[in-house]
Amino acid sequence: MSVTVGFRCGVCERTYGLDEMAWRCACGGVFMLEGAPSFKGTASVSDLPWSLWRYHRALPVVGSGESWKQISLGEGLTPIVRDSPGVLLKLDFVMPTLSFKDRGSVLLVAAASDLRVRRMIADSSGNAGVSIAAYAARAGIATEVFVPSSTSPAKVSQLKAYGAVVRRITGSRADTAQAALSAVQETRAFYASHVYNPFFYHGTKTFAFECYEQLAGRLPDAVVIPAGNGTLLLGAALGFAELVNAGLVERSPRLFAVQASNCSPIGKARGVALPGFTETVAEGIAIPSPARLDEMIRAIESTGGDLLVVDEDDILRARTVLLARGIDVEPTAAAGYAVVQGWDRDDPGAVLVALTGAGVKSPRAR
Ligand SMILES: *Cc1c(COP(=O)(O)O)cnc(C)c1O
Ligand SMILES: [Zn+2]
């Protein structure tokens, strides 16, 4: 299979070839993918491989696009289990590196590999870097990952184990991104950014295709997703939109973005009174100024969803409740579950909560 894709700026519409290695438009706008295939129902599904690559006909690849066959770790096709009446959980941490980020990383690294990239730089609050490091190891691409010094030791040790060079940056998540960018400019390495690179979102869109198949076409009324940079939220929005455009479902589920009340850029953009930006136990969504904030707001508003904010206590309590049901997730993932704990649903519609990261990534306080 060969599909020609390029980047298009979401602001000024300028187009770029992939071989230009740009990560953002000269105008500062973020890229969308142009010419990417989309989901068309059973014609887009292969019985094999038994992974998210069963949708490979609906996924963008570069050139002859063969690298994924070497680097795939069987990611995707994560379980959906029933929690209580009307509440479904998608265990999206049942992944090779124990977070949903593998959906996006495998596409991003496959694209880099098909572009003959030899060196990459990534920045991450943890899980995206871990995931990129794993696929980079498989692809034989030397990778440096910049993380905030506050990142969980478990994630740092995962990074090192995969052979990535780890740069721990003192200061905020934004300082970490800035340090990575300076290094990209100095070394001319490929910027393997899960935030800026649209391939990542075409990987996370498989979340929606799986929901469609696993639930036999009966999508839940609402989908709840913890959102920092919005890579799962936006990928899910893209995937559900493809299902609607193909006439497979009538409408997208309402998408609910979950943020910590301590760090809610969507709330801030909407003028909601919140404590202001401080730390949160949900480190995976501690992103004060996401690059695709406008897209995130559009994704929730266009589907009739909303922002939901949760307190620190609610997050920790939700983690404990899940454990008592045999499900061990990190606090960021528990944030999504926290909202359905106190959810007063005005209709009996079903809700599906994305559980995004495994518990071993973040040790519990005793
Ligand atoms: C990265 C991450 C999130 C948030 O994803 P974004 O792309 O930043 O919205 C949520 N949960 C976990 C466990 C994560 O690693
Ligand atoms: Zn532009």
Which residue has a Cα nearest atom 3 of ligand 1?
Answer: 284
How many residues in the chain?
366
Give Cα separations from 326 to 38, 83, 226, 350 (angstroms): 36, 11, 21, 22
Mean of pLDDT values over 170-194: 93
Cα–Cα distance, 27 to 49 (Å, whole number): 40
User: Cis peptide leading into 290, omega within 30 of 0?
Assistant: no
**Rounded to the nearest whole angstrom, what is the distance from the C-alpha of residue 12 to the centroid of ligand 2?**
4
Mean of pLDDT values over 293-298: 98
**Rounded to the nearest whole angstrom, what is the distance from the C-alpha of residue 64 to the centroid of ligand 1?**
31
Q: Across the beta sheet with 15-17, what order do the strands follow?
A: 15-17, 6-9, 31-34
**Rounded to the nearest whole angstrom, what is the distance from the C-alpha of residue 151 to the centroid of ligand 1?**
13
Strand runs labelled E in the chain: 6-9, 15-17, 31-34, 80-84, 87-91, 119-123, 142-148, 165-169, 190-191, 222-226, 254-260, 306-310, 351-355
- Give pLDDT, residue 328: 97
Find out whether the beta carbon of 229 lies less than 6 Å from any atom of ligand 1.
Answer: yes
* Ligand 1 atom nearest to 227, measured from its CA: 9
Find out whether the beta carbon of 129 lies less than 6 Å from any atom of ligand 1.
Answer: no
Q: Find out whether 59 and 107 touch, Cβ atoms under 8 Å.
A: yes
* Ligand 1 atom nearest to 290, measured from its CA: 8
Per-residue model confidence as pLDDT tens digits over 14-50: 999 999 999 999 999 999 999 999 999 999 999 999 9
Per-residue model confidence as pLDDT tens digits over 328-357: 999 999 999 999 886 655 555 799 999 999
pLDDT grade, residue 174 (50/70/90)? confident
Q: 181-192 burial, b for 16+ CB within 10 Å, e for fewer?
A: bebbeeeebbbb
Find out whether the beta carbon of 203 lies less than 6 Å from any atom of ligand 1.
Answer: no
* Ligand 1 atom nearest to 194, measured from its CA: 7
| Whole-number CA gyration radius for the chain | 19
CB count within 10 Å of CB 112 equals: 29
Query: Above pLDDT 70, what percent of the chain?
Result: 96
What is the average pLDDT value for the chain, to the nearest integer?
Answer: 93
What's the pTM value of the predicted model, to 2 decimals? 0.95
Per-residue model confidence as pLDDT tens digits over 244-260: 999 999 999 999 999 99
- Give pLDDT, residue 110: 97
β-strands 6-9, 31-34 pairing: antiparallel
Find out whether the beta carbon of 97 lies less than 6 Å from any atom of ligand 1.
Answer: no
Per-residue model confidence as pLDDT tens digits over 218-233: 999 999 999 999 999 9
More confident site: 288 or 300: 300
- For the ranges 11-25, 64-78, 143-157, the lowest mean pLDDT is seen at 143-157
- Give pLDDT, residue 1: 44
In three-state secondary structure terms, 184 is helix
Cα–Cα distance, 287 to 341 (Å, whole number): 24
Two structure tokens written together for 64: 């002859």
